Amino acid sequence: MAVCIKEEKFTMSVKPGHLKILHVRVQIWEQIWEEVHDGKYQMPHSSLADPPAVKELLRSELQLLLLSLRQQASRLGSDGDEIMSQYNPRVVRYVLSTERQQIPDSTPCTTPTNRPESSRSSSRLSSNSSIEDEIEALRHKLNITHIDEVVSHLRSLLIEECEVLKNDVQLLQESVELAYLKQKNSMEPTLTELKKERRLIKQDLETLNLEDESTCTDEPKPDGLHVPS
What pLDDT is stored for residue 127 in this prediction?
47
Domain identity same for 193 and 178:
no
Give the single-character DSSP code of 110. Answer: -
Query: Is 83 inside any structural domain?
Result: yes
- What is the residue range of 200's domain? 52-105+188-204
- Of residues 156, 153, 159, the one with CA closest to residue 141: 153
Of the listed ranges 134-143, 155-164, 185-194, the least confidently predicted one is 134-143
What pLDDT is stored for residue 1 in this prediction?
39
Give the count of domains, the chain.
2
What pLDDT is stored for residue 132 in this prediction?
63
Q: Which amino acid would we find at residue 142? A: L
Residue 46 has pLDDT above 60, yes or no: no
Higher pLDDT, 11 or 183: 183
Domain identity same for 192 and 94:
yes
- What is the Cα gyration radius of the chain? 30
Domain identity same for 192 and 89:
yes
| Pairing mode of beta strands 11-14, 3-6 | antiparallel
Residue 45 has pLDDT above 70, yes or no: no
Query: Is 224 inside any structural domain?
Result: no
Of the listed ranges 76-90, 106-120, 133-147, the least confidently predicted one is 106-120
Task: Tell me the C-alpha distance between 85 and 93, whole Å.
Answer: 11
Query: Is 4 inside any structural domain?
Result: no
Q: What integer is the mean pLDDT of 140-161?
A: 73
Query: Is 46 inside any structural domain?
Result: no
Averaged confidence pLDDT in the chain: 72
Higher pLDDT, 125 or 211: 211
Residue 155 has pLDDT above 60, yes or no: yes
Domain identity same for 91 and 138:
no
Q: What is the pLDDT of residues 60-104, one digit of tens each?
A: 999 999 999 988 888 888 888 888 889 999 899 899 886 444 444
Domain identity same for 62 and 100:
yes
Q: What is the pLDDT of residues 164-202, one digit of tens each?
A: 889 999 998 888 888 777 776 667 888 999 999 999 999
Interacting residues of 69 by C-beta distance below 8 A, sequence separation 6+: 80, 83, 84, 201, 204, 205, 208
